[in-house]
Structure 1
Amino acid sequence: MNTKTTYSYLKNELTLSESSELPLIIRAVTLALTKEVHKIIECHLTFQVSRELYQRIDSEVLFNLKPEIRTPLSGGSFQLSPDIQIEAILDSDLLPQLAKNAKTSNQAATYLQKLSKEQPNHPLLSPYSWYALEVKQKQEKGETGYRTLWAYLKPSDITQNGIDSKKLNEAMLNFTKEWTNTNHSGISEDVISQAVEQITQTFEDLTTDISEMTKKVVSETMEQMNTAFAEVADTISEITEEITSEDNLFEITINFFKQENWQFQEIPEKQSLSVSFQGKNGQYECCAIAREEQQQMVFYSILPIQTPENKLTAVAEFITRANYGIIIGNFELDFTDGEIRYKTSIDVDGNGLSFDLIQNLVYANVTMMDEYLPGIIVVIENDVSPVDAIAQIEA
């Protein structure tokens, strides 16, 4: 049958009810109503919340946002601003109540706004009556966020008559694809299918056990499914590590900088990338090198100024003192031309190079260079002793 979705654009706040005494006030953006002929089959609400309110939603597992049924964040942590946007779907059991009072998306939006003012404890306004599908935040360098199990397996697909195995398998495959894509693993569909097969039987067992079951049993079954989807993530993680260790380190490094929105220039013949980084105290030319045969990655940030010959001894003392207290990486000084650089590296032989490993390697590097740059400059330009310069930085 043909379905039709209509939208109502909102600018109002809605007050939702839940167990705590503090009201949950959200800023509604859109309400979407999907109908099949004349029957409402879905209701989606998109709204925005501050990061502070999101943290409360997260900790109290509102909108059924259980940690184990989320894909990883696509672009890093949520920031203080702007607001975080959540899209949620209404529990299908409550659609008849909505249908009694609304035929269109505009009427549904008006009805929810009326309930918000007059009956904030109405089931339609309970955050437990809505299932979050996607959570995202626009940021300066793109967007970050995640999807949930409910974006692939609708709550209405799980009923007292059982779970459609086709829908279930499709949901599993899409969930694992999203999981691996977010983790930048580049795993093929064949590998994904291999991982899915390892837990498919768990779901097939569920489909044979849930006919004629009570609401309580449905709830318990969902808990089992949540656990199973968490196992998907663990399984894919293990396979990712195995496959990534055999992948081209240079390609993995390129993908990292693309994901981080860094501008870079490829130098294929040297298996390296030339990148720039703007820190608080200066701008640095950096170099990422993939050593395929040794299964190593090296990252350098290079000081924008060179050391005059008459300052080589003082700068050498400075970086020696600095290196003594540094855990990750070290400064290097070329006595031939006075170049100063900071190096971080990792040997991934047998373990694989992951997004997180590169991230730690790169950001630990540029952070240390940016922190110690002022000290190097005062030693070179202001005749400050290495001891005093280090003391100023590490005070």
Structure 2
Amino acid sequence: MKKVIDTIKSFFENNDWKYNFNDEDKVFSSGIDMGNILGNVRMIIHLEDNFYNVYMVMNSKVEEKYFPVVAEFLHRANYGLKDGNFEMDYRDGEIRYKSFVNFKNIDVSEEVVGESIIVGAAMIDRYGKGLLKLMLGDGSPKECIEFCESEEKDSMSN
């Protein structure tokens, strides 16, 4: 595990990225400014014996009355994703994107660390604005997913 911790630290340091590391809990914490209405997204990397999870946590929480439509939205967003998934905490409405890296019997490169972080930020960026629309009561889950996925196509064609 020490080698993975050192690789993650190296990734942050080589990219001038501020972070904290709790050695006792084996948890890195940092954040990403999305540069848009989504604001800052909190990042947590939680290490276990043979794997780590990267959590990108949105700063807006879902009001309980919107839990059912947000859950549908997240299921629609998750369908077909190849790396990671969205989750909602039914206790407090927290929304996060989780990715997983298995490092049992292998060395993890800085490139793998970067990809495990960037995928979550990219998914928050892709689906976050539609999710905010839905959380404000502006549209159905299907309409908001279509908005997100049409925005993706629009940005790819430019």
Normalised TM-score (structure 1)? 0.36
5+ residue gaps, structure 1, are 1-245
Task: State how far apart, in whole Å, the 2-side matches of 1:280 and 1:250 are.
Answer: 28
Aligned partner of residue 270 in structure 1, secondary structure: coil
In structure 2, relative to structure 1, the CA distance for the partners of 1:371 and 1:339 (3 Å cut) is same
1:8-41: CA deviations, max 9, x gaps?
A: xxxxxxxxxxxxxxxxxxxxxxxxxxxxxxxxxx
Aligned partner of residue 307 in structure 1, secondary structure: coil
Q: Which residue of 2 aligns with 1:387?
A: 142
1:256-277: CA deviations, max 9, x gaps?
A: 1111111111222211111010
1:43-95: CA deviations, max 9, x gaps?
A: xxxxxxxxxxxxxxxxxxxxxxxxxxxxxxxxxxxxxxxxxxxxxxxxxxxxx
Q: Which residue of 2 aligns with 1:286?
A: 43
Task: State how far apart, in whole Å, the 1-side matches of 2:27 and 2:6 are.
Answer: 10
More RCO (CA 8 Å, sep 6+): 2
Q: How does 1:183-262 map to 2 (within 5 A)?
A: 247-262=2-17
Task: State how far apart, in whole Å, the 2-side matches of 1:380 and 1:307 are.
Answer: 6
Q: Does residue 35 of structure 2 align to residue 311 of structure 1?
A: no
Task: State how far apart, in whole Å, the 2-side matches of 1:336 and 1:376 are.
Answer: 18
1:300-335: CA deviations, max 9, x gaps?
A: 100111110100001000000000031111000111
Q: AA paired with 1:379?
A: L
Aligned partner of residue 24 in structure 2, secondary structure: helix
Residues 307 and 380 of structure 1 are in contact (CA less than 8 Å); yes or no, is this contact kept in structure 2?
yes
Residues 318 and 386 of structure 1 are in contact (CA less than 8 Å); yes or no, is this contact kept in structure 2?
yes
1:112-146: CA deviations, max 9, x gaps?
A: xxxxxxxxxxxxxxxxxxxxxxxxxxxxxxxxxxx
Residues 126 and 149 of structure 2 are in contact (CA less than 8 Å); yes or no, is this contact kept in structure 1?
no
1:266 to 21, 26, 32: 21
Shift of 1:356: 1.1
The count of aligned residue pairs is 148
Q: Which aligned runs of 4 or more in structure 1 are off by greater than 4 angstroms?
A: none
Q: Which residue of 2 aligns with 1:212?
A: none
Residues 256 and 355 of structure 1 are in contact (CA less than 8 Å); yes or no, is this contact kept in structure 2?
yes
Shift of 1:279: 1.3
Q: AA paired with 1:321?
A: R
Task: State how far apart, in whole Å, the 1-side matches of 2:11 and 2:52 are.
Answer: 13
Residues 253 and 290 of structure 1 are in contact (CA less than 8 Å); yes or no, is this contact kept in structure 2?
no
Q: AA paired with 2:121?
A: V
Q: How does 1:139-218 map to 2 (within 5 A)?
A: none
Q: Which residue of 2 aligns with 1:338?
A: 93
1:278-305: CA deviations, max 9, x gaps?
A: 11332101101222x2x21211100111
Shift of 1:383: 3.2
Task: State how far apart, in whole Å, the 2-side matches of 1:277 and 1:390 are.
Answer: 23
1:327 to 60, 68, 82: 82
Normalised TM-score (structure 2)? 0.88
Task: State how far apart, in whole Å, the 2-side matches of 1:277 and 1:351 are.
Answer: 28
Q: AA paired with 2:10?
A: N
Q: Does residue 110 of structure 2 align to residue 355 of structure 1?
A: yes
1:93-115: CA deviations, max 9, x gaps?
A: xxxxxxxxxxxxxxxxxxxxxxx
RMSD across aligned C-alpha pairs, in angstroms? 1.3
Task: State how far apart, in whole Å, the 2-side matches of 1:390 and 1:350 are.
Answer: 39
5+ residue gaps, structure 2, are 151-158
Task: State how far apart, in whole Å, the 2-side matches of 1:303 and 1:284 are.
Answer: 5
Task: State how far apart, in whole Å, the 1-side matches of 2:137 and 2:65 are.
Answer: 13
Shift of 1:251: 2.3
Q: AA paired with 2:93?
A: G
